[in-house]
Amino acid sequence: MIQRKGFFQNHPIFRKLTPEESEEILQLSQERFFEGKQSIIEEGEMSGGIYFIRNGRVGVVKKRGSSGPEVIAYLSDGEFFGEMSFLDGQPTIAAIIASEATICEFLPEDELKKFLANHSSFAFHLVLNIARSLCSRLRETDERLVRFMSLIRENEQ
């Protein structure tokens, strides 16, 4: 299992930090452990910061009314969540539930914002990487939507 310091030194988002900045991020990060099936964030809550999965897997779960929740994606080692709420200041659009025992590094919003205010080049790098991840997820969602619409059209005929 990757140790905390190694996680930040090797993660693509944090790799460009100086040793001093990396140590600063390590100090403001909070290690959080979640059991399998444990809720991490409820749909409609503020994330409070950004979670980076150090080890494990989580499900992104959306409510579906009376038919129960639907897992819309899985995230695992190195991926992150809570970034949308962090960026736009809005509640989360889905719940996050640990699919198995999961260890996250949590960067609390207030502390992260202070760090970013003092490290503008890293702020740009972080936002750019979040944007790339969101674009990738949006492309995947678009593909799913196209496949879904095709199925609907086929069933109508």
What would the two tokens of residue 29 be? 């990060």
Residue 42: phi and psi, rounded to 5, are: -85, 145
**Cβ count within 10 A of residue 55:** 16
Mean pLDDT for the chain overall: 91
Q: Tens digit of pLDDT for each residue in 46-72?
A: 999 999 999 999 999 998 777 778 899
Angstrom CA distances, 17 to 1, 2, 116, 123, stand at 22, 18, 12, 11
Q: Give 101's pLDDT tier (boundaries 50, 70, 90).
A: very high
pLDDT in tens, 61-100: 998 777 778 899 999 999 999 999 999 999 999 999 999 9
Average pLDDT over residues 4-24: 89
State pTM to two decimals: 0.87
Per-residue pLDDT at 1: 67
